Structure 1
Amino acid sequence: MNLNLQNQVASLANLLNQKNYQQVISSADALLKQHPKADVLFHLKALALKNSGSLEAAVLSFQQCLELNPKQPEVLNNLGNTYKLLQQYDLAIANYEQALKVNPNFVEAKRNLVLAYQEDNQLIKALAIAEEILASNPQDVSALTSKANLLKALDRYQEAINVYQQVLTLNPRYVNALHNLGLTYKLLEDHQSALACFKQASQLAPQVAEIDFSLANTYFEINQYPLAEQSYWAAINKKPLYVDVHSTLNEFYWQLGKHQEFGKSYQLVLDKMPNSPELVTAYVQQLFAAGADQQAKAVLAKASDQGKHYQLTALAAKVAIVDGNAGLAADHYKHSLALKFDVDNALDFAEFLIKQGEYYQALEMIEKVELIQPYHQLNLGFKSLCWRLLGDERYHWLCDYQRFIKPYQLPVPQGYDNLPQYLAVLENTLLSMHDKVHEPLKQTLKNGTQTPGRLLHKPVQVIQELKHSLTQVVHQYVSELPDDPNHPLLKRKSNNIQFSGSWSVKLRPNGFHVNHVHPDGWLSSAFYIKVPDFSQFPQKSEHAGAIKFGESGIALGEREVVERIISPKAGQLVLFPSYVWHGTYGFNGDDSIFRMTSPFDVIPV
């Protein structure tokens, strides 16, 4: 590299550090016309593109750099980081691994590989790389924290606690470890230890809103609602554009029936900071979920970045659908995805295309999502709909309602004479947890309540007995599945399983679950704790309270079909693939009756 080019590269590096990304891009392009084989210019341009959010263009520039000089571990690492941002974890992992082949001692690439494996739910592989870093430096606080985070994700909570405490012995003021230690205690339902960690972390870092958020969520779980509300607002005051806090606070108001407070946090911040597309997006989404379509339209109409921001453009598509303008909706979705390919928006577009009868176009969108998230269960659910509506035989191969949907009776836990005795104890325990007024906004139940937190992780004897018995049934179900390396359900068969979600639902008369899938699961189930005698009341359907499979949640009218119906009894559970569409029939009765279930999701580890 000649001296003049060296000086120009140094100047570009300074501009990059100063975040003058557009100037770096334009200057690099001009220099590449003179020096087309200067790989460092492609690298600098790629970094500027990545930092400015043009991820696909950044990938191309990184690749051009590597074509000129493939043995550059830093470039491979940066390309991996870009793929990670694009949620293309297999490609991210491949580039980190290639960087380590060039330089086996490249610790930064190892750290990023840990994160990519973790994001891709390959937790055991991530843990192995973290251990590899620690083998060279046992007191690497960052690697120790990653190890503890992975142990927490693997539900190995006591081990995680031990490692977090090891980190805090090395660095007592390491707020990240202290905060995560509190989150681990919270997962164990040790709320007092969690609160102690959060309060200590808050003293060390009083301006960190994330700690207030954790305090609020913990207070919410133990029904200390005034303290929860106070902590949510503390987080918003410190970080006004903290979208997750706004969303959770307004969910909090909704479930407690404080509808007069619903939306106020958004309004207060947007009055002062109107140019926040992320906050507008969250507000509009919650308004749509609450059925306030006209208010949602009014809020969106005030947004100045419509057409420039991918989320606002996608929401404009939803408004066009509400207004009955399908052509405009399609244009908005296409424009949104051109601005940024977001999986959730792509799935919304796929749903729209299915409703319009454009099944092949929907399948094209579904295939694009598969490249990023091959096991996204809603995506598979939409694929099943397209295949059925096109008369494709693969529909039956994918869903096989007789083979893959199985009812079981729960094994009686030790210490109980019979199942009804156990169910009575479990019911009384769960009733105390159903203390909200309304169902969560974005959940599928209507006219009922749902418990917060992860039910099967609660250190309550009767719940741990339930978890043990459910685990037995899940293992039996998995052992009965056939082998097929090409099937999205069967190729993930594993005896190592994890309950990724668990909760309890109490449905009142006229309550039901709208048809849905479980997007983040592999296997899903509903365990029936209390099923009233529906014959005591006049019912609209002979299937009152039953669970149905096959009918989608996107209201296809005459194109819908119910493939299977199961009328469960107390003590039964039904296991099925998480991508299979399912819902329930409502039931009538007086205020004295209710139906209680304990649904859950399982994923392979």
Structure 2
Amino acid sequence: MSASVIAATELAQVTNLLRQGKLAEAESSCRNMLTKAPGNAAAIHLLGLIRKDRGDTADGERLLRESIALAPRQPDFKANLANLLRRTGRPKLAETLYREALQLDRNQPGARVGLIRALSDQGEHVAAESEARTLLAANQRDSTAWSLLAMTLREQMRLPEAEQAYRRAIEVAPNQPQAHHNLGSLLNRMDRAEEALQALERAQSLGLSGLELVFNRGVALTQLLRLDEAERAFEQAVALNPLHGEAQVNLARVRFMRGDPDFSRSIAAAANKRSDPNLQILLSLILRRAGDLPRAESTLRDVILRSGTSPEACAALAEVLLESGQLKEAETHALEAAGARPNDARFSDVLVTILLSRGRPQDALPFIQRQRAQNPLGQTWLAYEATAARMLGDPLYQELYDYDRLVRTYDIEAPIGWSSMQELNDALLHALNQRHPFSNHPLDQSLRNGSQTARNLLVESDPAIRAILEIFKLPLQDYQQRIGADPNHPLTARNQGAVDIVGAWSVQLRREGYHVNHVHPDGWISSAYYVAVPEEVQDETLMSGWLKFGEPRFAVPGATPEAVIQPRPGRLVLFPSYMWHGTNPIHGSDPRTTIAFDAVPRKPTT
């Protein structure tokens, strides 16, 4: 038997040991080979893979690079090094190597799969989609290719297309649990919780387990209002990984909305036990949103004392100090965060809010203009721009906040099939009451002392809900017609045709309930529809529960409410999503029940 045949046999044996996970034995055999043939590129490459799998990525990378230097035209060598680079957070370098591998062998699927993932890691989702379609062109029965295409479409928010691609992946390989799981996760994002749960349970029946599965089950169960099960699912997720911030936040959120006074116990215990600054910052966020400002502040000061300043910690502390009225110190921390990350909208947001509250619109404008340029459709930045213009006496404010023209009310008439609006509203109230089981408001919404439905009303099948959503289309069309299509106005420039309602929800405000002033960051036209209102809204002096416009979230000198609307059952109010709006508190025991939605211009079909 020739030396080359012996070498090939030994390499195959080592490869088999590596696949079986017998890493120590594989490494020993590989080093024996290299003692006899120190320049064998394949053996060096194999040793690099073994060292990488044993946890020494630096030595693994060194050996993989050495093998490529010895055999630069081996595409799998380049692809394997690219895999290591991508998994250690260097997707751009990985992309270069994947492309080099494909130049050597354009039909190597592993390199193209890696390239798709590397592009996706960099946010290059359109390019990743193109590569996924190339992979599919070679084999329409490739389940992995369909799943990768679905991933690229999901990241572009082309969710129906992503769903179709995941379903093709399952059609090709029906017993592939990860595809069922990914479909379930996508359906959660589409608020189709019943279908999501079915897909997730199918993945589980096929043997899938782990944190992501139980977390996504928790999301679906929350939407279905199966709250005991949802809480247990999130508990299981944080038990699997106490440092998983999203699972911890969702567990705290469900407990808070259920009225648990110790809602933050899990994330607090994990943050304190591990002294993890990221988890402590998340804890402070939850506490701030729950209104516990002293504890949120002390948590952040402890983070900074123990771990030093970071943009995230500084911005979080600035937000707490802003809410507690400590504006001067808040500005110091916000400036540090925004200075470290000038293009990060989150950090500029808190700084701009503070500067406007301190009466310094000129200082705020450069930050506002930077974000307006980066995100021209961002409704929050339009609101800040309008507020600064108002403070400076700039006519732009009147253009953006033309209440007579841009805030319109519609008293809805009963549709066919309903004898009156009272009958429809009574049916709506009955349906919505069943969807308001929570004791407290969500931790991440504008309402206080009330509750909000857990999922998008657009997916509900209740006939009253379906009827009212259908009715809203006519007022929307009238609103579009009346506001016009001036290309120089940021609202009307987008008024170029059909619109879609993209999110709808219901809110119940209870005693002392109200909405803090806010905007809808991702909307275009926003709304409030009154299903049932307490008797106290009739008092035109107190104006309890009335909708108000023009007052920012935090107090700004001279920026008080400029327009108010009295609630009335059957009344719909439409207004720009960038317009500051909130409500006066209600004081009695009768709740105020509303439906709200956001509408955006319909995307052109491709």
- Report the TM-score range of the alignment, normalised by the length of the smaller protein: 0.7 to 0.9
The within-5 A match list for 1:523-538 is 523-534=525-536
Which digits, 9 at most, give the CA deviation of each residue in 1:237-276, with x for residues without a partner? Answer: 22222111111111111111111x31111122123321x3
Q: Give the aligned residue type for 2:318.
A: A
Q: Give the aligned residue type for 1:602.
A: A
Moved more, 194-203 or 238-247: 194-203
Matched residue, 1:301: 301
Cα distance change of structure 1 residues 77 and 152 upon mapping to structure 2, 3 Å threshold? closer
How far apart in 1 are the matches of 2:455 and 2:274? 32
Matched residue, 1:265: 266
Structure 1 position 389, deviation (Å): 0.2
Matched residue, 2:225: 223
The 8 Å contact of residues 251 and 440 in structure 1, kept in 2 or not, is answered as: yes
Cα distance change of structure 1 residues 254 and 429 upon mapping to structure 2, 3 Å threshold? same
Cα distance change of structure 1 residues 190 and 385 upon mapping to structure 2, 3 Å threshold? closer
Q: Give the aligned residue type for 1:352.
A: I
Q: Give the aligned residue type for 2:531.
A: I
Task: Give the aligned CA root-mean-square deviation in angstroms.
Answer: 4.1
The 8 Å contact of residues 372 and 381 in structure 2, kept in 1 or not, is answered as: yes
Q: Give the aligned residue type for 2:551.
A: E
Q: Give the aligned residue type for 1:563.
A: E
Matched residue, 2:330: 329
How far apart in 2 are the matches of 1:132 and 1:126? 10
Cα distance change of structure 1 residues 481 and 144 upon mapping to structure 2, 3 Å threshold? farther
The 8 Å contact of residues 114 and 130 in structure 1, kept in 2 or not, is answered as: no
Whether 1:597 and 2:599 are equivalent positions in the alignment is: no
Matched residue, 1:410: 412
Whether 1:244 and 2:241 are equivalent positions in the alignment is: no
Matched residue, 1:548: 548
Cα distance change of structure 1 residues 535 and 474 upon mapping to structure 2, 3 Å threshold? closer
Matched residue, 1:583: 582
Q: Percent same amino acid among aligned pairs?
A: 28
Structure 1 position 542, deviation (Å): 4.2
Long gaps (5+) in structure 1: 1-9, 25-43, 63-72, 79-105
3-state SS of 1:525 partner: strand
How far apart in 1 are the matches of 2:421 and 2:130? 42
Structure 1 position 440, deviation (Å): 1.3
The within-5 A match list for 1:2-401 is 74=96, 134=136, 138-139=140-141, 141=143, 144-145=146-147, 148=150, 150=153, 161-183=163-185, 186=188, 191-204=193-206, 206-259=208-261, 261-274=262-275, 276-303=276-303, 306-318=307-319, 321=322, 326-341=327-342, 342-401=344-403
The 8 Å contact of residues 487 and 493 in structure 2, kept in 1 or not, is answered as: yes
Structure 1 position 140, deviation (Å): 5.0
The 8 Å contact of residues 315 and 333 in structure 2, kept in 1 or not, is answered as: yes
The 8 Å contact of residues 114 and 129 in structure 1, kept in 2 or not, is answered as: no
How far apart in 2 are the matches of 1:393 and 1:50? 52
Cα distance change of structure 1 residues 528 and 313 upon mapping to structure 2, 3 Å threshold? same
The 8 Å contact of residues 526 and 598 in structure 2, kept in 1 or not, is answered as: yes
The 8 Å contact of residues 178 and 208 in structure 2, kept in 1 or not, is answered as: no
Q: Give the aligned residue type for 1:266.
A: I
The 8 Å contact of residues 338 and 351 in structure 2, kept in 1 or not, is answered as: no
Provide TM-score, normalisation by structure 1.
0.74
3-state SS of 2:472 partner: helix
Q: Give the aligned residue type for 1:264.
A: R
3-state SS of 2:599 partner: strand
Which digits, 9 at most, give the CA deviation of each residue in 1:517-552, with x for residues without a partner? Answer: 11121111011111233377xx59342322111111
The 8 Å contact of residues 116 and 129 in structure 2, kept in 1 or not, is answered as: no
Long gaps (5+) in structure 2: 1-44, 63-80, 101-111
Which digits, 9 at most, give the CA deviation of each residue in 1:253-302, with x for residues without a partner? Answer: 1111111x31111122123321x332111100111112212211222233
How far apart in 2 are the matches of 1:338 and 1:50? 30
How far apart in 2 are the matches of 1:234 and 1:364? 46
How far apart in 2 are the matches of 1:50 and 1:202? 26
How far apart in 1 are the matches of 2:97 and 2:377? 29
Cα distance change of structure 1 residues 308 and 172 upon mapping to structure 2, 3 Å threshold? farther
The 8 Å contact of residues 320 and 328 in structure 1, kept in 2 or not, is answered as: yes
How far apart in 2 are the matches of 1:321 and 1:410? 40
Matched residue, 2:434: 432
How far apart in 1 are the matches of 2:171 and 2:473? 36
- Equivalent position to 2:497, from 495, 498, 515: 495
How far apart in 1 are the matches of 2:118 and 2:473? 33
Matched residue, 1:88: none
Matched residue, 1:6: none
3-state SS of 1:374 partner: coil
Matched residue, 1:101: none
How far apart in 2 are the matches of 1:20 and 1:118? 27
Matched residue, 1:27: none
How far apart in 2 are the matches of 1:336 and 1:602? 33
The 8 Å contact of residues 406 and 575 in structure 1, kept in 2 or not, is answered as: yes
The structure with the larger Rg is 2
How far apart in 2 are the matches of 1:133 and 1:495? 37
Which digits, 9 at most, give the CA deviation of each residue in 1:13-61, with x for residues without a partner? Answer: 999998769x99xxxxxxxxxxxxxxxxxxx9xx9999779x9xx9xxx
Cα distance change of structure 1 residues 562 and 324 upon mapping to structure 2, 3 Å threshold? closer
The 8 Å contact of residues 357 and 554 in structure 2, kept in 1 or not, is answered as: yes
Moved more, 174-183 or 433-442: 174-183
Whether 1:420 and 2:422 are equivalent positions in the alignment is: yes
Structure 1 position 578, deviation (Å): 0.7
Matched residue, 1:33: none
How far apart in 1 are the matches of 2:258 and 2:150? 35
Matched residue, 1:562: 561
Q: Give the aligned residue type for 1:233.
A: E
How far apart in 2 are the matches of 1:545 and 1:295? 31
Provide TM-score, normalisation by structure 2.
0.74
Cα distance change of structure 1 residues 244 and 520 upon mapping to structure 2, 3 Å threshold? same
Cα distance change of structure 1 residues 152 and 501 upon mapping to structure 2, 3 Å threshold? farther
The 8 Å contact of residues 152 and 160 in structure 1, kept in 2 or not, is answered as: no
The 8 Å contact of residues 266 and 283 in structure 1, kept in 2 or not, is answered as: yes
Matched residue, 2:105: none
How far apart in 2 are the matches of 1:178 and 1:494? 39
3-state SS of 1:503 partner: strand
Q: Give the aligned residue type for 1:566.
A: I
Cα distance change of structure 1 residues 115 and 319 upon mapping to structure 2, 3 Å threshold? closer
Cα distance change of structure 1 residues 428 and 295 upon mapping to structure 2, 3 Å threshold? same
Q: Give the aligned residue type for 2:233.
A: S
Q: Give the aligned residue type for 2:585.
A: G
Cα distance change of structure 1 residues 117 and 340 upon mapping to structure 2, 3 Å threshold? closer
Structure 1 position 384, deviation (Å): 0.8
Cα distance change of structure 1 residues 109 and 476 upon mapping to structure 2, 3 Å threshold? farther
Structure 1 position 425, deviation (Å): 1.2
Cα distance change of structure 1 residues 488 and 174 upon mapping to structure 2, 3 Å threshold? farther
Cα distance change of structure 1 residues 308 and 509 upon mapping to structure 2, 3 Å threshold? closer
How far apart in 1 are the matches of 2:130 and 2:488? 28
Structure 1 position 236, deviation (Å): 0.9
How far apart in 2 are the matches of 1:323 and 1:561? 20
Structure 1 position 318, deviation (Å): 3.8
How far apart in 1 are the matches of 2:458 and 2:439? 22
